[in-house]
Amino acid sequence: MEFGLFLIPLLLVMSGVIAYIGNLVGRNIGRRRLSIFGLRPRHTAQLITVLSGMLITVFTLVTVLALSESARVALFRLNQLRQEIQEQEVRLRRLQVGEIAYLADQEVLRTIIDGRQPLDSVRRQVNAFWERASEIALANGAGPDVNSREVLKLTPPGVRLEQIAAIIKQRNTEVVFRLVAAENTVKGLPLKVTPIWFPNDLVYRKGTVLLQGVVDGRRSRDEVGNALLRLIDSAALRAKGKVISPPFTLVSAGPDVRADFDQVRATVTRIVATRRQVPVVVKAAKDIYTIGPIEVELEVLER
């Protein structure tokens, strides 16, 4: 049942009752020629009628505010809502004609903070990271807020750097702290950022085989080289979700994978020299953590 279908009849009935009672009181005072505050009886009756009208208004307002959250928001936060609407209108107009500074889900900055350090140290690192991220966002085109002059705005509302520092301290381990753009932002506007933090876990130890495949040494050097690069890319895709995307890219992007060019070229030469199909493994060149990157090396297996 709609809220208005209940509220409107209630207000009509109660307003009528108050008006009727006010009229009776006014007429009774008029007949008895009573006086309030030294007023003449006729003026006293008029005062009672006016007070009855005021009482109807007060009752209506109190009832609506008590039963309707929307009415409370409209009454007490009207100016704030109007400002937010204006800000969104400006944002939409700039998105239509302006140059994008940050895409939604694009990383602004990342760092590693050791939660095993004292809380004061963690706080200082979080604050320093925030200042650095603000500088980078400003350099990339984001603008300060008109009122607060802040370049970055934490979202959702209510999140505080102090709270983040306390949570990192509670983790009591190395934590990746990442700020990500919450929405598409054009140049000149403040950047809303979502804080993300998670343990910097060891994902692969040095020497772990990430992927194995077969490469045909009877192909040309370019074809063999491309086959090796595809193996490396496939190994990186398998690590998606375990190792995060490269710095400043979208969080949905694949991990950053790196291979030594000279080692890849030497592997191509060795495979071509065999003139046959050979198994090749992609291995972790060093310990790989959540923050990345994925550094790999190739090994040709002898049959």
Backbone φ and ψ of 94, nearest 5°: -70, -35
235: buried, middle or exposed (CB in 10 Å: 19+, 13-18, 0-12)? buried
What CA–CA distance (Å, rounded) separates 28 from 20?
12
> pLDDT 10s per residue in the chain (303 long)?
454 555 566 556 666 666 666 666 666 666 666 566 666 666 666 676 677 667 666 766 676 666 665 655 555 555 566 666 776 666 666 655 568 899 999 999 999 999 999 999 999 999 999 999 999 999 999 999 888 899 999 998 888 999 999 999 999 999 999 999 999 998 889 999 999 999 999 999 999 999 999 999 999 999 999 999 999 999 999 999 999 999 999 999 999 999 999 999 999 999 999 999 999 999 999 999 999 999 999 999 976
The ranges assigned to domains in the chain are 3-76, 99-200, 203-300
User: What pTM was computed for the model?
Assistant: 0.67
Q: Which segments of the chain are extended strands (E)? A: 100-102, 107-114, 152-154, 174-181, 185-186, 191-199, 202-204, 209-216, 257-259, 277-284, 288-289, 294-300
